[in-house]
Structure 1
Amino acid sequence: MQRCLIVSGGYAPHRPFEAGERLRLLLEEDGFAVRHVETLKAYDREDLRAYDLIVPNWTVGRISVEGIGRLWEAVWAGTGLGGFHGGMADGFRDSDRFRFMVGGSYVREPGGICRYTVEIARPDDPIMAGLADFSYESEQYYLQVDPAIEVLATTRFRGTDYPWIDGVVMPTVWKKPFGAGRVFFSALGHVPEELDHPSVRAILRRGLLWAARAA
């Protein structure tokens, strides 16, 4: 049985523990044994290498020097790292090592909650197989991204608030290797209910299974 650690907390409006519980149930359906905790001390205390998948679900926050070192070593050795929205792209702003592992970081959400289109960039990839472009209402994340990521889906910005970003195409779902580990990220899922959107749910589930080498 594969093992997953979900670490939830941070920015309260994201309702992180509730979102983490949705992920727990989703992964348990796929046969995972899931440990879901609400403390950053997990990165210092847990045997991170014993997990097949770690889901950082903590917007902002501060991870200890020892904790980020242990997470880095676990992923480098083969543990999967996967997550979504601010819990991963806006986690641990003072840790360049974490951002390097993730492959990108949050900058802003121009326009706040708005309707936009998620465009499938790699329909040939198993994570995106059978999915079509879809309309989505949420925060549209503007991100700083590593050019080495493998982009699976994008979104296009309108210049309503910032005219100079009109037409900018931004990665919104990606995957990447990190040593022997795999990293997956989806910018979708501002609040827990958004994880019930069929395409968002499918992308997240498949991406996490890929990161854990379960698919």
Structure 2
Amino acid sequence: MPKKALIAWGGWPGHTPEQSAKVVRSLLERNGFDVTLGEGTVMFADPKLASFDLIVPVITMSTIEKAELQNLVLAVRQGSGLGGFHGTMCDSFRSETDYQFMTGGQWVAHPGDIIDYTVAVTRPDDPITSGVSDFAYRSEQYYMHVDPGNEVLATTTFTDAHFPGIGGVVMPVVWKRRYGAGKVFYSALGHNADEFAVPEMALIVERGLVWAAR
């Protein structure tokens, strides 16, 4: 039986949620997943949500109904995997601390907006980042509030160029974690669907999502 994945897209259009969701669908389908793609948080209200092996939110700056969030959190705690990227997973529901506890982080700033920076792979021994060297990236450099329990796989270092006082701050970019019986993967890269053209970024997301699946 193929593994089942649910991708729910929505929210701020600047993050190209529908286009990015379709890219992710292709990545998962080539790994043998049976993918369900749908719009909005209503997808998380499905009574059978916990039957999905992987749940991928592609939703930014939105709101979620209490029952939808409770169902999502319960599904992951019971063993469904959760994976995503950029603001479409870690800037989805700003007022929902239960969601942030599950994902392991929340976006708070991107000084300088679209800039050039370096992604440093800190765990080349991990299957998600194996064979990936440090690489240059042009996008929003996410400043995040992160859970110290995350297993960090890649980082980026800030300078004072765009916001004085943060120079030298080493910020997690890619991490994985456990939430109850579920596995959680996150990458801060992927501002829009075009960024999947960067091979390192796309490979890390693909591997991370496959890893997170039950």
Give 1:103's aligned residue. Answer: 104
For each residue in 1:159-212, what CA deviation from the matched residue of structure 2 results, as whole angstroms up to 9, or x when unmatched?
112211011100000000011100000000001010121100110000000000
Structure 2 letter corresponding to 1:138 = S
Give 1:176's aligned residue. Answer: 177
For 2:69 and 2:21, locate their aligned partners in 1 and report how far apart those are by CA, in whole Å: 20
Structure 2 letter corresponding to 1:144 = H
For 2:32 and 2:162, locate their aligned partners in 1 and report how far apart those are by CA, in whole Å: 45
SS at match of 2:201: helix
For 2:204 and 2:177, locate their aligned partners in 1 and report how far apart those are by CA, in whole Å: 15
Give 1:44's aligned residue. Answer: 45
In the alignment, structure 2 segments of 5+ residues that lack a partner are none
Residue 46 of structure 1: CA displacement?
4.9
Give 2:155's aligned residue. Answer: 154
Superposed, 1:1-215 pairs within 5 Å as: 1-213=2-214
For each residue in 1:94-133, what CA deviation from the matched residue of structure 2 results, as whole angstroms up to 9, or x when unmatched?
1100000000000010010000000001111111101100
SS at match of 1:81: strand
Structure 1 letter corresponding to 2:113 = G
For each residue in 1:10-68, what CA deviation from the matched residue of structure 2 results, as whole angstroms up to 9, or x when unmatched?
01111100000000011000110111111211111351111000001100111111111
For 2:168 and 2:157, locate their aligned partners in 1 and report how far apart those are by CA, in whole Å: 6
Residue 158 of structure 1: CA displacement?
1.1
For 1:140 and 1:13, locate their aligned partners in 2 and report how far apart those are by CA, in whole Å: 16
Structure 2 letter corresponding to 1:157 = F
For 1:123 and 1:148, locate their aligned partners in 2 and report how far apart those are by CA, in whole Å: 19
For 2:135 and 2:9, locate their aligned partners in 1 and report how far apart those are by CA, in whole Å: 28
For 2:144 and 2:10, locate their aligned partners in 1 and report how far apart those are by CA, in whole Å: 21
Structure 1 letter corresponding to 2:179 = F
Q: Structure 2 vs 1, CA of residues 46 and 8 (structure 1 numbering), >3 Å: closer, same or farther?
A: farther
For 1:143 and 1:43, locate their aligned partners in 2 and report how far apart those are by CA, in whole Å: 25
Deviates more, 1:39-48 or 1:130-139: 39-48
TM-score by length of 2: 0.98
For 2:46 and 2:126, locate their aligned partners in 1 and report how far apart those are by CA, in whole Å: 36
For 2:58 and 2:40, locate their aligned partners in 1 and report how far apart those are by CA, in whole Å: 11
Tell me if structure 1 keeps the 8 A contact 2:40–2:59: no
For 2:50 and 2:39, locate their aligned partners in 1 and report how far apart those are by CA, in whole Å: 19
SS at match of 1:163: coil
For 1:90 and 1:76, locate their aligned partners in 2 and report how far apart those are by CA, in whole Å: 20
Identity of aligned residues (%): 48
TM-score by length of 1: 0.97
For 1:29 and 1:154, locate their aligned partners in 2 and report how far apart those are by CA, in whole Å: 28
For 1:139 and 1:47, locate their aligned partners in 2 and report how far apart those are by CA, in whole Å: 36
Q: Cα RMSD (Å) of the superposition?
A: 0.8
Structure 1 letter corresponding to 2:125 = D
In the alignment, structure 1 segments of 5+ residues that lack a partner are none
For 2:105 and 2:64, locate their aligned partners in 1 and report how far apart those are by CA, in whole Å: 17
For 1:39 and 1:112, locate their aligned partners in 2 and report how far apart those are by CA, in whole Å: 27
For 2:211 and 2:46, locate their aligned partners in 1 and report how far apart those are by CA, in whole Å: 26
The count of corresponding residues between Structure 1 and Structure 2 is: 213
Q: Structure 2 vs 1, CA of residues 46 and 200 (structure 1 numbering), >3 Å: closer, same or farther?
A: farther
